[in-house]
Structures are given as structure tokens and as C-alpha cells.
A and B are shown apart, each in its own frame.
Chain A
Amino acid sequence: MTPVATPFFFYLLSGLALLGGILVITRKNAVHSALALILTLLALAGLYLMLYAPFVAGVQIILYAGGIMVLFLFVIMLVSIEKSQREDQFNKQWIGGLVGAVALGALFVRVFVRSKALHDLTGMPMAQLPEQSNTQEIAVYLYGNYMLAFEIASLLLLVAIIGAVVMAKKRI
């Protein structure tokens, strides 16, 4: 079950995800940022595949990259972006930001080190479930144990859709 060239693909995909993330926050043009975000999402989908979760990867591509990002792009393209392009890339509070980032990073490292001491992360076996049943397993849990949560979530989405239609319809 061990796939070939795992470290290579892992580093490749995570590198792409990180690159995308950095590009998102450093690009001046909002459309470029959105496209970099798409790159990150696709890289994440690849990582999901490596974790033997093809369903999650597929859904990530369909919904996130193919749906939500299209929505983002619509909004960005319709909103006038000239103003944002003239703004400064980094504002005057970068010192405070740096301090905050370092503090957060220190927190992550501490948590990681402590939890590593409690559980040996490297020895953990990968995905005990065979990949074939990723979809089935999700379905069993989603429509079985978590049925109520699923229904509530879909109801929420329905309300959101209706709200959006009502808001937009007034303008037609």
C-alpha cells in the first residue's frame, strides 16, 4: 500500500501549497491572489489523495476550486479594483504584525514539541482504512451517525440560497 515516491510528491505538493499561500498575500492584483489561492487548493487536493481520501480530494476540486473560487473571481472582477491596486502593499504596523507572527509560531512549535513527546507521530500507521472505501465510509458516517448535523447544514444552506435570491431579486 505504500505509494511510490511519497516524499517527493509530499514536498512538491506542500511546496506548491506554500507558494500559493505566499503569492496570495503578496500579489497586488486581487485576481492574481485568487488564482494563487486556486493553486493552493489544488495542491491540497493532491495531498488529500496522498492520504487515501480520494472523495475529499474530488469534493475539494469540485466545490472549492471549481465553485467557490469562481465565485471569488466573479466578485473580484465585478468590483472595481483600481483603488486597491493603488494601496500600499504593507502598512505601517508591520512591527506589530511581525511580533504577533513570531509569538504564534512559538506557540505552534511548543505545542508540536509537547505533543510529540506524548505521542510518537512518526510511528503512526497511515490510513488504516483501505482507500477503496473512503467514499463509502464517509457516506456511512454522514448519513448514519451524523444525519442530524447533515440535515441542519443543508437547511442552513437552503436558507442562505433563498436569502441570496431574495436580496438579488429586488434588483432585477
Chain B
Amino acid sequence: MSDPSTNISHLELGDRNETFLDSNELVINMGPQHPATHGVLRVILKLDGEKVLGTECVIGYLHRGVEKIAENRTYAMFNPYVDRMDYVAAVSNGLGYCEAVEKLLNVQAPPRANYIRVILTELNRLASHMLWLGTHALDIGAITPLFYTFRDREEILKIFEKYCGARLTTHAFRIGGCLYETYDGFEKDVTNFLDFVTPKIDEYEELLTTNRIWVERTKNVGKISGKECIALGVTGPVLRASGVRWDVRKAQPYAAYSDFDFEIPIGQNGDTYDRYLVRMAEMRQSLHIIRQAVGKIPEGPIMAKVPKVIKPPVGEIYHSIEAPKGELGYFIVSDGSTQPYRLRVRPPSFVNLHARHRSRRGGPLMLDYVTSYLRSNTTPGQAGNLLWAFIYIILIFLGLSVAVIAMNWLERKILAHMQVRLGPMRVGPHGLLQPIADAIKLLIKEDIMPAEADKSVFWIAPVLIVITAFTTFIVVPFGPTHAVTDMNIGVLFMLGVSSLSVLGVVMAGWASNSHYPLIGALRSSAQMVSYEIAMGLAVVAAVLMTSLHGNGLYGVAHGAVGDGTLSMIDIVKAQQDQHAWFIFKFFPLGLIAFFIFAVAMIAETNRAPFDLPEAESELTAGFHTEYSGFRWSLFFLAEYSAMIAVSSIAVTLWLGGWLRPFPTWLTGETWDLVFSLFPAATFLLLALIALVGTLRMPKHPYFRVQTLGLAGFAAVLALIGILLLLPPVRDRIQDIYWFSLKVAGFMYLYIWYRGTFPRYRFDQLMRVGWKVLLPVGLGVLILTAIVGVLL
């Protein structure tokens, strides 16, 4: 790391010859190119494992020499420049500058202008806080609030655009007042916006404030006391969250703020959670202020009498306002000419950043061949029937590929709809051909391998992961005879082979020869290994239930020496014999065991909220950062397959596999018939949805091909539905259908979790795995055994 632009010699690099038992510190660069630094910051971190030992901030990437420019522009000419300094809160910047120059000129803006200024500045504060919330949540892993806040921020930007023609860098005010009169309908727009956004802010709070993961990620993180804040010159919401009730709007009122009645929210602990709460409260206070202001904008001129050529008398002035980020100050030295002699901007973020960099976060920051021919019981594999086994293998292979492709489309669409947007719509009708386009793109993309990467290991890693992911499907039972084979250690086999994927992840991260993939790989493997334990315990609890013969939820035949089994098909058969899905058996034990497995399997597959190994906003892409094109797609192929595989385990062990719902409560020919119509009904419903989609397509010649395509798709679905109505097909497809339906439910849950939860920090993740799931799993196992023996 010998670049001339920074001197890091004072950050000692650990001796490279130490073994890992001595502390081996990692110096890692969170460069200006990083998803979480938002392009303007470089942080050099000294890490010990996951702990941050020291940081050094390198700034200046967005320094544009504004103060020097100010010395070469007239006062009015400089006005647009200030917007660009903090472009998220441009209106506030303009307000501070105009007021500073007005002070120098000893001119007062008229009351009407002040009211307009207040309204626009508070709207800008709202917009800035919304942007903060969206990006902050995104960096922590909650990907949904971003869309909500940006959607609502649009309304504010629309108002700005209507008022002054620009959305972001508004240049709304002039020296002496405002240039533009409020447009017709301004008050109505603002009032409508206030009514629109108030429940939306409640919506954001609902998503995050009481969310356990959010609280754990932000509480007690980045604590800074009030005294420290003052000493470090920190202002704004950070200062207020540390308990100091100070706001420039109240301490040294400017514009029309003294006319309004509003509170200053403060926090107690000064941690990130309090800063979040303070900003949310500030948003509500802004709404309050705007509501008061918009009702009583006084009549009158909007511009004070300011000379055409602005030449303030010789003197100096300092004026500051409460920008959304903190105290924004302007220090202007005038030498009597038309251009400022010196203009100094006191930036709130500069000082706040220094403070953040100093309170170094001692906590963790940053922060995965061969299907040999085997024999067993009643499946094609057993009868020595090689041909059928191969056919099943091919069918599963194809089915899995289709499922992965469908998952790709479904994930993007479902996640999009949760985030109030549409998702892919262009490639094919409603984006249906998007996965194919993705596949083609990935196949023909340039294959990049880092120069220093270990070539053979780099090549093998994704292949290994895909092989293990696909191999687990040998024993997945889609029906009593619908599996490639039924090994009598089926569950053990699945767990074992999926544990091999850890090797692939580690290999991938190591072979990339780069810091971020290595950290991602180590995190991922530690995570997967830890949660395998919890998974194993839950599985053992379920397997235990197979040996407790007896009907019903609590039924255990007295003195039954069960013949428990590890075979997937036999587990489902045991549920069938015992007339109870294991999720309901020994209620609530089965449910708890299922729950443990459900949580552990999400961690196993590196999905949100346990997706820290792939955490985009922290590690760029984790262990597969250096992979591009087809190799990368192999990773995700394997991830989706693994998701389906573990869901299959969950379905087999607890949800009755291929059994239809209520096999014992709703028995009889009619019920059997009703349930057997479900597959056809599903496809016909899908066909109906596709038909409705076709009818709603725009009637424009450009869309003809898409409309036809969608109609064709609807026709195919309808055809399949009708095919499924035929009795022979109907009976055969039952088991496969119910199994697939349950697995599909799990897939939906996966996507839902991704859209809703922030991600766990790594130490919290490990804590959940070891300190929560493991003991509970043990407890459930012991209790199941006791109940089984006692009953």
C-alpha cells in the first residue's frame, strides 16, 4: 500500500511471519470505491479479525475548491455554488449563504420571503432525512426502506421543481429574499404532501424501530457522550442524540423560526439507535413546522430592497443555520468590493466525520462429482433400475434448472412489488424472459481471473459448490417412489453433502487472493459450520419422532420400540402412519424444532438476514467478489439449489413431505377428489392471471410481440391445467404437487425475509447460532425424548 497520496506508516503492519496464534492484524482499505462509503470517503482500517483497532480517514475526494472560487465571483454569482456543497440539502445551504450576505448588507428579508424560506428549508430537511434513512438502512442490510423513502422524497422534489425548476440543486433563494413567488396551488400541494407523508413516516418506523435485528445492530453502537460531542464540535442530530438539547433554530433563531412552535427531540444514549430516533422525531417536527407555516404565509413583497450591485461594506460576519446535518456556518470577509474577500464555509459533516473517526468502533465492523450409483429401497435406484434412475436424475436436473430460473424471476418480481416498484418488465412480457437474458449475458461475459489468484483452486471452487448442491437432490423425495434413490441414511447424506459446500466457499475466498473475499469466505464458513450444528439438532429431534409410534399429536404407543429411520421417504411415511405432521407433534416441541431448522437453514444458505458473507454494502460482494460471468452464475445456481434443498429437508421432516393437507381429518372420496383438483386449479389460476395481464397490456404496436407472448404463455399454463384434470395424470401428480407447493412456500418466505430484515452483524449472527439456537435445540431434543418415553 505505497501510494503517495497518503502516509500510513504510523499504522503498523503486523509481522507477516507470525503464526495466527499471535495477533495478525489486517490492514484493509475501504476505499473511495465502496458501496458504503458513497463515493467520497476512504478509510484505512486496521483489523484484528472482525474488530477495528484503528482507522485513518482520507478525505478530499469531493473537494472542489469552493472557497477559492468564491473569491472570484460576485456575491450573487456565487449563490448557485453553495447548493452543490451539500447537494442533498441544497436549500439549506442557500438559506445560510443568503442570510449571511444579507446580514453583511444589513438588510432584512421581508416576512413573506422568510415564510417561504422556512417552508422550503423544512421540506428539504425532510428530503435529506429520508435519503439518510434509506441509505442508512440499506447499508445495514434492510433493502426495502430505501424504496419507500425515495418514493416519498419524489413528492418533495416535485414541489421543488414546480417552485423553482430544479429538483436537487434548487438555487431557490436570492440575496434579499426569494426570486420566485409561490406558484398557484403551492399551499395545496404542500398540505396534500403533509397529509400524504405523515402515515408514511409511521410506516418507516414500523419497519425498523421495533425490529429486533435493527435494534441489535444500532443500539450501543457508536456511542458518544454529550460532553465528547461538544468537545469534538459535533452538532446536529448527533449532538441531540447524545442528550444536548441545542438547535440553532432555537438558540439563535433566523428566518421566521421564532414564529413557530416546535420541539427539539433529544436522545439519551448517544448511540446509533438514538440518532435514528432523533432524526425520525425531527422529521415529524418539520412536518409540524410546515403545517404551521403554510397556513399563515403573510402577504407582501418577497424581495427586500437590495442594490443592483452588491457591495457590502468592509467587515466580517459569521452566520450559521441548522442544516439537516448540523451547524452550517458561513464566515464572510468583505473588503468593500463586489466579490467576497474570503468566504469560509464551516461544514457540519467535516467536523462530524472527524468525531466519528475518532470514536473508533471497538466492536466488529465489517465485516462457501460424482453421483455414484447407490442402492437402497423402493425407488428406481433400489430396484437396480439404472435406466429409471438416470431418467429421474435428468428430470430432477431439468426441474431444478427451471426452478432456479423461476426463482430468479420470482425473486426480482416479488422483492420489487414489496418495494413498491415493478421489477423487470422489459425483457419479455412482465420480464418473464429476464432470467434467460441474464443467463445469456452471463455465458458470454468476459471471464476475469485476478492475476495473483490461485488458478486451479479458483476454477474448482464454484464447480465444487454446484456439484454438492445438485448431489443433495438424489434423496429428495417428491413422492413415495419419486426420488432418484432412497438411501437409508438420506437425511445424513443431505446434511453431509451440503456441508461440503463450505469447502467451496472457503476455496473461493482464498483463491481470489484479496482481502474482501477472504473475509467473506471466513465469515461464511464460520457461519455455515455454526448453524449446521443447530440444524443437526433440530433434525435429530425430528428423526426421534419417527421412532415414537402412535397416532395423533401426542400419541405414543406405550412400550413402542420404534424403528426410527434416517431415510427421507420413511420419515414422511412415519408422519403418514402417525397421522400427524411432525411440526404439530408433541406441540409445541415439533414447532420449536421446525423453527430452529427454519432459521438455521437461512444461515446455512447465506441468505438475508444472515447474508453478511455477501453483504454488499460492507464487503462489496464477499467471497465471490472476484468472480464474473459464468463462474459467478454458478455460485448463485448453487445458492438457489441449496435453498431448495434445505427447504426440501424442512418440508420432508416437518411438513409431511408429499402428503396432502389434513389426510386424517378430511378423509373420504370427495375430499380426496377435491384435493386432487388443486394442481389443476393452481395452473388454471396462473393462466387466468396471465390472461388478465395480457388484456391489460398497452394496445400499442410496440407491445404486440409481448402481448402475443404473454397470451401464448397463458395458453400453455391453461393447457397444463387442463392436462392435470385428467384422472390418471391427476393421481400421479398429487405427491409431486404438494411437495413442490410446500417448497415454493419456503421460497416465498426466503424472498420475504430478504425484503424485510436488515442483516445481522457477524458477532450477533454467531451469538444467535451458538447461544440461542444451540441450547434451544438441545432442550427440544431432550424434551422430545422425555415426552416420548413418558407418554
> Interface size class for chain B?
35 or more
A58 contacts B by Cβ under 8 Å: yes
A77-85, A89-97, A121-129, A141-149: which one contacts chain B? A77-85
A25 to B457, CA, bound (A): 17
B173-181, B212-220, B484-492, B612-620: which one contacts chain A? B484-492
Would you give the shortest CB distance from B189 to chain A, in whole angstroms?
Answer: 56
Report A-chain residues with C-beta under 8 Å of the C-beta of B506: 70, 73-74, 77
B488 pairs with A75, CB closer than 8 A: no
> Interface size class for chain A?
35 or more
Which of A46, A70, A135 is within 8 Å of B503, CB to CB?
A70
Would you give the shortest CB distance from A32 to chain B, in whole angstroms?
Answer: 7
A58 pairs with B493, CB closer than 8 A: yes
B372 pairs with A70, CB closer than 8 A: no
Would you give the shortest CB distance from A8 to chain B, in whole angstroms?
Answer: 10
Closest A residue, CB atoms, query B491? A58
Would you give the shortest CB distance from B53 to chain A, in whole angstroms?
Answer: 13
A60-68, A102-110, A112-120, A150-158: which one contacts chain B? A60-68
A61 pairs with B497, CB closer than 8 A: yes
Report B-chain residues with C-beta under 8 Å of the C-beta of A58: 489, 492-493, 496
Would you give the shortest CB distance from A147 to chain B, in whole angstroms?
Answer: 16
B522 contacts A by Cβ under 8 Å: yes
Would you give the shortest CB distance from B138 to chain A, in whole angstroms?
Answer: 30
Q: Given contacts A77-B510, A78-B24, is CB(A61)–CB(B373) below 8 Å?
A: no
SS of A interface (majority): helix
A106 to B376, CA, bound (A): 41
Report A-chain residues with C-beta under 8 Å of the C-beta of B460: 35
A66 to B497, CA, bound (A): 8
Closest A residue, CB atoms, query B374? A49
Report B-chain residues with C-beta under 8 Å of the C-beta of A73: 503, 506-507, 510
Q: Given contacts A62-B492, A73-B506, is CB(A79)–CB(B20) below 8 Å?
A: yes
A78 pairs with B20, CB closer than 8 A: yes
Q: Given contacts A4-B384, A73-B506, is CB(A67)–CB(B16) below 8 Å?
A: no
Report B-chain residues with C-beta under 8 Å of the C-beta of A77: 506, 510, 518, 522
Would you give the shortest CB distance from A165 to chain B, in whole angstroms?
Answer: 10
A4 to B372, CA, bound (A): 12
Q: Given contacts A49-B372, A74-B522, A135-B566, is CB(A80)–CB(B17) below 8 Å?
A: yes
B503 pairs with A31, CB closer than 8 A: no
Between B18, B457, B493, B496, the greatest number of chain A beta carbons within 10 A of the residue's beta carbon is seen for B496
A19 to B743, CA, bound (A): 40
Between A35, A54, A55, the greatest number of chain B beta carbons within 10 A of the residue's beta carbon is seen for A54
A66 to B373, CA, bound (A): 21
Which of A3, A9, A62, A74 is within 8 Å of B496, CB to CB?
A62
Within 8 A of B (CB), among A1-38: 3-5, 9, 29, 31-32, 35, 38
Would you give the shortest CB distance from B424 to chain A, in whole angstroms?
Answer: 37
A55 pairs with B522, CB closer than 8 A: no
Within 8 A of A (CB), among B488-536: 488-489, 492-493, 495-497, 499-500, 502-503, 506-507, 510, 518, 522, 525, 529, 532
Report B-chain residues with C-beta under 8 Å of the C-beta of A3: 375
A74 to B509, CA, bound (A): 11
B454 contacts A by Cβ under 8 Å: yes
Would you give the shortest CB distance from B495 to chain A, in whole angstroms?
Answer: 6
A32 to B461, CA, bound (A): 12
Closest B residue, CB atoms, query A49? B374
A66 pairs with B503, CB closer than 8 A: yes
Would you give the shortest CB distance from A39 to chain B, in whole angstroms?
Answer: 10
B359 contacts A by Cβ under 8 Å: no
A146 to B107, CA, bound (A): 96
Between A5, A55, A70, the greatest number of chain B beta carbons within 10 A of the residue's beta carbon is seen for A70
B19 contacts A by Cβ under 8 Å: yes
A67 pairs with B372, CB closer than 8 A: no
Report B-chain residues with C-beta under 8 Å of the C-beta of A159: none
A9 to B373, CA, bound (A): 9
Q: Given contacts A35-B460, A46-B372, A49-B374, is CB(A66)–CB(B488) below 8 Å?
A: no
Report B-chain residues with C-beta under 8 Å of the C-beta of A62: 492, 495-496, 499
Within 8 A of A (CB), among B358-385: 370, 372-376, 384
A5 to B506, CA, bound (A): 35
Closest B residue, CB atoms, query A56? B489
Report B-chain residues with C-beta under 8 Å of the C-beta of A61: 493, 496-497, 499-500
A67 pairs with B23, CB closer than 8 A: no
B488 pairs with A54, CB closer than 8 A: yes
Between A35, A57, A58, A79, the greatest number of chain B beta carbons within 10 A of the residue's beta carbon is seen for A58
A75 pairs with B20, CB closer than 8 A: yes
Q: Given contacts A54-B487, A79-B20, A80-B16, is CB(A65)–CB(B503) below 8 Å?
A: yes
A41 to B724, CA, bound (A): 46
Report A-chain residues with C-beta under 8 Å of the C-beta of B370: 46
B457 pairs with A35, CB closer than 8 A: yes
Closest A residue, CB atoms, query B529? A70
Report A-chain residues with C-beta under 8 Å of the C-beta of B670: none
Would you give the shortest CB distance from B603 to chain A, in whole angstroms?
Answer: 16
Between B19, B20, B24, B460, the greatest number of chain A beta carbons within 10 A of the residue's beta carbon is seen for B20
A165 to B376, CA, bound (A): 42
B456 contacts A by Cβ under 8 Å: yes
Would you give the shortest CB distance from B105 to chain A, in whole angstroms?
Answer: 61
Would you give the shortest CB distance from B373 to chain A, in whole angstroms?
Answer: 7
B489 pairs with A65, CB closer than 8 A: no
A86 contacts B by Cβ under 8 Å: no
A73 to B506, CA, bound (A): 8
Would you give the shortest CB distance from A169 to chain B, in whole angstroms?
Answer: 13
A57 to B497, CA, bound (A): 11
Q: Mark B5-16, 1 if CB is under 8 A from A, else 0.
A: 000000000001
B502 pairs with A70, CB closer than 8 A: yes
Would you give the shortest CB distance from B1 to chain A, in whole angstroms?
Answer: 17
Closest A residue, CB atoms, query B505? A70
B510 pairs with A31, CB closer than 8 A: yes
A162 contacts B by Cβ under 8 Å: no
Which of A4, A5, A31, A135 is within 8 Å of B489, CB to CB?
A135
A96 to B18, CA, bound (A): 32
Q: Given contacts A4-B373, A4-B384, A55-B489, is CB(A74)–CB(B499) below 8 Å?
A: no
Would you give the shortest CB distance from B552 to chain A, in whole angstroms?
Answer: 26
A31 to B522, CA, bound (A): 15
Report B-chain residues with C-beta under 8 Å of the C-beta of A57: 489
B525 pairs with A70, CB closer than 8 A: yes
A167 to B500, CA, bound (A): 28
Would you give the shortest CB distance from A153 to chain B, in whole angstroms?
Answer: 18
Report A-chain residues with C-beta under 8 Å of the C-beta of B495: 62
Would you give the shortest CB distance from B591 to chain A, in whole angstroms?
Answer: 26
A111 to B764, CA, bound (A): 57
A135 pairs with B488, CB closer than 8 A: yes
Report B-chain residues with C-beta under 8 Å of the C-beta of A75: 20
A9 to B374, CA, bound (A): 11
Closest A residue, CB atoms, query B19? A79
A83 pairs with B17, CB closer than 8 A: yes
Supply 11 A–B pairs (Cβ within 8 Å), ascending by A: A9-B372, A31-B507, A32-B457, A65-B499, A70-B525, A73-B506, A77-B510, A77-B518, A79-B19, A131-B375, A134-B488
Known: A61-B493, A65-B499. 17 other contacts (CB 8 A): A32-B456, A46-B372, A49-B372, A49-B374, A54-B487, A55-B492, A58-B489, A58-B492, A59-B492, A66-B532, A67-B499, A73-B503, A74-B506, A77-B522, A83-B17, A135-B488, A135-B566
Write the residues of chain B forming the contact surface with A, with a CB cutoff of 8 angstroms.
16-20, 23-24, 370, 372-376, 384, 386, 454, 456-457, 460, 487-489, 492-493, 495-497, 499-500, 502-503, 506-507, 510, 518, 522, 525, 529, 532, 563, 566
3 interchain residue pairs of minimum CB distance: A66-B499, A61-B496, A58-B492
